[in-house]
Every structure is written in C-alpha cells, then in structure tokens.
Chain A
Amino acid sequence: MIDRVWLIPALPLAAFLVNGLFGRRWLGRWTGPLAASALGLSAVGATLVFLEVLGGRAQSVVTLYRWIGVGDFRVDVAALVDPLSSVMLLVVTVVSFLVHVYAIGYMEHDHGLPRFFTWLPLFVFAMLVLVLADNYLLMFVGWEGVGLCSYLLIGFWFERNEPAMAAKKAFVMNRIGDWGFTIGMIATFLVFGSMNFREVFEHVDIASQGVLVLICLAFFLGAAGKSAQLPLHSWLPDAMEGPTPVSALIHAATMVTAGVYLVARSTPLFQAAGPALAIVGAVGALTAIFAATIALVQFDIKRVMAYSTVSQLGYMFLALGVGAPVAAIFHLATHAFFKALLFLGSGSVIHGVGGEQDMRKMGGLRRKMPVTYWTMLLAGGALAALPPLAGFWSKDEIVGAAFTNGYPLLWAVGVFTGALTAFYVTRALWMTFHGQPRDRHLYDHAHESPAIMTVPLVALAVGSAGVGVALGFPPEGGFIHRFLAPVVEVAGHTAPEHVAVEYGPILALAAVSVVAGLVGIGVGLSMYARHRPDPSAVARAAGGLYTVLVNRYWVDELYDHRFVDAAKAFAGATWAFDIHVIDGLVDRLGWVATGAASLLRRTQTGVVGNYALSVMAGLLAVLALYGGLATGVIGR
C-alpha cells in the first residue's frame, strides 16, 4: 500500500471533482455519502500504510513525477512515508471520515449541500498533500490549499455578513503566516540548495546558527499563522462562523495542526537553531494561558471550544519548544479526537436546539440529548486531562517534559493552564447540560440528533478514551515514542534512553497536573452547580480583569485600530494616487489627442469635390515646385 500511497489523497480529490462538476445538477443529496465513502476508503488506506510502517518500512519515498527541474532546482511530487507522516495520515483521514459522516446529518437541510461536500473533500486532499510532501515546496501547495478551503468553508454561509468577514480575516491572517513560510522556504533553498526534507536535514550543519535561527523563525511565523498562535490567533475564534463540521475538522483536528506538524517535521532544523526553539516554547506557553483565560468567560459554546483549541495548540508548541516533539505529535493526535468530538457535540447541541449557541439559554439538556451529553462529557474529561482519558497521557507528557528538560516556568504555566482548562470545560458542560433549563421554549423543542450524527460522536468518544493509553502507555516509553523517536530526534541529540525511565518524578508530576485539573473542575462545579461563590459575584469582584477577558484583551480592537485602519488609509492613499496621478496623466494625454482631433476633423468634410480640389491643388503645387526648380526661378 505504501507504493500506492497517492491513492489516499486521490480519493478525496476524485470526490471533489465529481461533486464539484456534477453535484449541483445531478447528485444533490448523494454528494454527502459519496464524499464520506471516498474518505472512508482513504482511512482504510491510511490504516494499511500505518500498519506497513509499523511492520518495519520505516522510511520510504514514493515519487509520483518530477514537478520542477530547472538547473539545480529540482522538486518532485513525492511522498515521504515515515512514522510521523503515517500517524498524521491516520489521524487526518479517520477524523475527516467521521466528520464527513456527521456532516451528512448536520447539513441535511442546507441548500448549499453539494457545495459543502465539494470543498470538504478538497480540504482533505490539500491536507493530505501537506502531510505527505517530502519537500517544503510541495508542502506549501497543501499549506495554501488548506488555507483556501478554510476560507471557502468559513465563508460557507456567505449570504450573511459575519461569515464573509470572518473568512476574509482568516485568509488575510493566514497570508501573513504564509509570507513567513515563503521566506523560510526561499532561505532554505539559498542556504542548502534544496527544499527536500532529507537533503536539508542531512546538511543542517553547513549553515551558521544565525541563518538557521532566521529560517526557523520564518517557518514559525508560518506555523503561528496556520496554528493560530499569538499574535496571529484572532482569526480562529471568528472562524466559528462556519458550519460546525468545518470547525471540528479544520479548526480543531487538522488544518490548525499543520503548524505543529511543520515544526515537528523540521525538528532537525529547530534543534540546530537553539534560540528559535526557545521562542517557539515561550509563544506556545503564552498562547496557551492567554487563550485559556479568554475561554473562561465566553458564553458562545463554540467560542469556548475555539479558544480552547488555540490554548491546546499552544501546549503543542510548548512541547516542541521544550524539545519534546513526540509529545507534541501525541497531543496533536489525542486532541484531534477529543476536540473534534467537543465541536461535533456542540454542533449536535446547536442542531438540537435550533441554532442557538448561547449557553446562557441552555441548561438541563442532558435529559434531552443523552448520547451527546455522555460523549461530550468524555471529551471534556479528556480535555481536562483526567486519567485515563486520552488528554491526560499526552498533555501530562508535555507538562512533564517541560519540567524534566529544565523549563520550570513553562511547566508552571502548563499546570496553571491545565487548571483553567478544567474549569472552563466544566463550566461549559454544566451550563449546557446540567441545572435547570433557562429557556423553557428552547428546552421543550430540544431533541437528540439523528443516528448519522451520534454514531460519529460515539466513535470519536472511543478514540478520546482509548487513544491516549493505547499510544502513550507507559509514560515516556509508550508505543508512540518508540515509533516516532527515530524521525524527530537528531543524531547526536538523542535523548536519554527511554528504557531506563525514572517513574518517581513522572508520577509526582502527573499527580500535580491531575490535582490542578481536579481543582479546576471542583471550582467550576462549586461555582456553577452550587453558586458558591456565585459566578456573577466573582465577575463583579474581578472587575477590570473580567472586562479585559470578556473583551478578549481587546486584541481585535487593537488590530482594527492599528493595522486594519492603517491598511485602509494606505489603500485610500494609493487609490487616490492612482485616480488622480496615474489616471490623471493618461486622461490628460487623452485630452490632448481629442483636442487635436477636434481641430483636424474639420478637414474631413465628406464632400468628394473638396477632396478632389485638394488633390488638384497638391498637383499644381508639385508642378509649380518642379517647374520653378527646373527653370531656376527657385534657387537651390
């Protein structure tokens, strides 16, 4: 199957083409099952590839064709299949498949259904190209592809203003990151003469430290744009204007992890550029706590999840920064499951209550939608990192790695953020599912979602519960370490042998994290279930801090006033320059021509006699001149 690995992205591409060309006219409702079955086959293929890699084919390159060959510049369309990409393949295809199935139910009544199932497989195709690419340029193709699909899907309901604006915002902020990616790519080529991963990583020592730091920071800017890290995070919460399956697939499980994947893939580069890695870790930690604090006070259920995603992505970058790329990818995989589940669960709630997203109007819904409730509770537990759910294994590994690798400050941030995470997820789930119904009408009409939506929820719940222990047990020496370590660890940088792991400190660190999570849950329950202390009283007591959080640190306002307004002013100035100077010049030239023409046109009388007269006069003039010259009347 590895040799036919290109079938995996080809299937979603085929689904995209068929649905795009024939969906609207002929397929209609059948576009959904078609796309979902293509993705199902892809997932099967990805599983086979994964098993083959597991069976010993540690690294293989599958070249499809030579894409560019100009002098020394050679780029192939080639897939690099190794443990890292096979894990990503599996996560992307499985979660995509489940989201596609779910979307068949969720988008059932939407008139744009064929369009939806055109862009969704296209997105998966682009993501798979990104994951499979064996060089930066091909990766960039997928990178841009997912950005485009993200734009198309966030703005899916473009008839309304907000989704259109959100789509634009996401696209522009991603472009800023892509600019960094481009710079990094060009610099890589200039320094190493190649964009191929293996060739670059083999010669990483020919570059000076400064150049490497520059390249890595450029790539990290790209990663920050795609993965919604500070300061390019603000597009992701707005992206919740898109349909919920899109939020689950793109803005939780796959596209936003592309940045993490990029940095993990480039680990040899980042390892060689020390300071860059420290910046990655610091930005990750800052983003994690920043977004978690905002998530504390949001009332829109999807926005809580969105900020939670930003925060969890921060954790992954923290892991990369402290030199634990395996933990980052591990968390990426578990997060893909439980965050997709939380989003799909939120979507199920929104679907069940007729489009309401404000948690203040919900409450008590667990009696109406038990499947959604139990699966989301499981995912919430995983997010809060309760053992033995998936999030516990991966997140604890990140926090533990921060401590053991000598970053106690980042460790403290991680633990504190863990408590915040546990608090906001408790708050969100309690407000939605427990207590008394706050809106009687809403509650009476609430209903559980159909099976096509709840079955993917259950499947994801199994993943959220089991993936962590399956991959990550025993801690620091689990399956995923043995599997991924050869890819992300550089020769000479090999971490201490995993065989002789000290379990004492690990258990102590895990205990601290779990206690932090339990404290978060406890505070959440006490505030929202018993009103001790009452949430609104706490909000009043916090005063200014609460205002800051509710307004999301005024980041959007800051960007609007500083950058957007400046850009608009600049655009206005260039527009004026274009209209008055460039166009003005052309206009004036035109006026000269028309002025001259309006004088000259008088000679064109249209009367044949006049023309004949002028011919005759010309003849006479020529004759007179000739005669004058010949007879010598006109001297030379």
Chain B
Amino acid sequence: MTAVPLPAFIAVSTLLFFIGAAGVLMKRNAVVILMCVELMLNAANLALVAFSRRYGSVDERGSVFVVFVFVIAAAEVAVGLAIVLSAYRNRPTVDVDELHQLKG
C-alpha cells in the first residue's frame, strides 16, 4: 500500500483547523460554533495520528492521546450544549451576538 506522505496529512489537518477557527470566529449560531470547535479538535487529532504513524514506536502514544481528546470533546459538547440550551430558555435565541449581557 502506497503510503500517503506525511505532509499531505499535515496539509489537510491545517486546512481543517483553520476552517474550524474561521467558523468559530465568524459564525453566530452557538451550535455551529460548537461544531467548528469540534472540527478544530479533530484537525488536531488527525495531525496526532499522522505523526504517531510516522514516528511512533510500538505503543503509539500519539493515538492514545487522541482517545483523551475524544473524551474531552464529548464532555465539552455536553457542557457546551447545556449552556446553549439554558441560554435559549433564558432568551429565545442562539445567536451569540445577541447574548451580550456581560458587556462591561
């Protein structure tokens, strides 16, 4: 099997990360922002797995780290969605630009 070269993985990972970052910065819908955060995390995962395959020894520490990121991501989504839900109950919107009660 022809090995996909490492730079290709890194390129895709970088692309995914910046798409996610741009989404976080520009989107207004809180749910979409959470999805974009997810995209960024998975970009990092991709990079970790790729490096692990390329340089990793037998125990594949990079892959193990990915599992941790999954767990954190799951928790983050749970908390994040809960916050979005309660914000929605408070004011019927999920537009983060309208949720600016904490303005100083």
Contact = CB atoms under 8 A, between A and B. Distances in A.
Indicate whether A and B interact: yes
Given A609-B96, A609-B97, A604 B102 contact: yes
A614 to B, nearest CB: 10
B21 interface: yes
A190 interface: no
Contacts of B21: 616
B24 A606 contact: no
A607 B100 contact: yes
A608 interface: yes
Contact of B104 (A602, A609, A612): A602
B103 interface: yes
A633 interface: no
A602 B104 CA distance: 6
Contact of B96 (A601, A607, A613): A607
Interface string A598-636: 001111111111001100100000000000000000000
Nearest to B21: A616
Interface string B9-26: 000000000000100111
B99 interface: yes
Size class of the contact patch on chain B: 10 to 19
A605 B100 CA distance: 7
A183 B97 CA distance: 73
Given A607-B96, A607-B97, A612 B103 contact: no
Nearest to B30: A608
Contacts of B102: 604, 606
A604 B99 CA distance: 13
Nearest to B24: A612
B100 A613 contact: no
B57 interface: no
A420 to B, nearest CB: 82
B104 A601 contact: yes
B95 to A, nearest CB: 10
A604 B100 CA distance: 10
Interface string B38-55: 000000000000000000
Contacts of B96: 607-609
B29 to A, nearest CB: 11
A605 B101 CA distance: 9
A49 B104 CA distance: 78
Chain A interface mostly: helix
B25 A604 contact: no
B101 A613 contact: no
A606 B25 contact: no
Contacts of A603: 104
Nearest to B98: A607
B25 to A, nearest CB: 6
B81 to A, nearest CB: 15
B104 A613 contact: no
Contact of B103 (A600, A606, A613): A606
Interface string A67-110: 00000000000000000000000000000000000000000000
A605 B24 contact: no
Nearest to A605: B103
Contacts of B24: 612, 616
Contact of B100 (A601, A602, A606, A616): A606
Contacts of A604: 102-104
B33 to A, nearest CB: 7
Nearest to A608: B96
A613 B27 CA distance: 12
Interface in B56-104: 96-97, 99-104
A613 B25 contact: yes
B33 A606 contact: no
A597 to B, nearest CB: 9
Q: Which of B100, B103, B104 has the most CB of A within 10 A?
A: B104
A616 B101 contact: no
B6 to A, nearest CB: 19
A604 B102 CA distance: 7
Contacts of A608: 30, 33, 96-97, 99
Contacts of A600: 104
Contacts of B25: 609, 612-613, 616
A601 B104 CA distance: 5
B38 to A, nearest CB: 15
Nearest to A620: B21
A599 to B, nearest CB: 10
Contacts of B101: 606
Contacts of B28: 609
B66 to A, nearest CB: 21
A133 to B, nearest CB: 65
A606 B91 CA distance: 15
A613 B21 CA distance: 9
Nearest to B103: A606
A603 B26 CA distance: 19
A606 to B, nearest CB: 3
Given A607-B96, A612-B25, 20 more contacts: A600-B104, A601-B104, A604-B103, A604-B104, A605-B100, A605-B103, A606-B99, A606-B100, A606-B103, A607-B100, A607-B103, A608-B30, A608-B96, A608-B97, A608-B99, A609-B26, A609-B28, A609-B97, A616-B24, A616-B25
Interface of B: 21, 24-26, 28, 30, 33, 96-97, 99-104
Interface of A: 600-609, 612-613, 616
18 contacts: A601-B104, A603-B104, A604-B102, A604-B103, A605-B100, A605-B103, A606-B99, A606-B102, A606-B104, A607-B97, A607-B100, A608-B30, A608-B96, A608-B99, A609-B25, A612-B25, A612-B33, A616-B21
- Per CB-CB distance, the 8 closest pairs between chain A and chain B, nearest first, are A604-B104, A606-B100, A606-B103, A601-B104, A608-B96, A606-B102, A612-B24, A607-B100
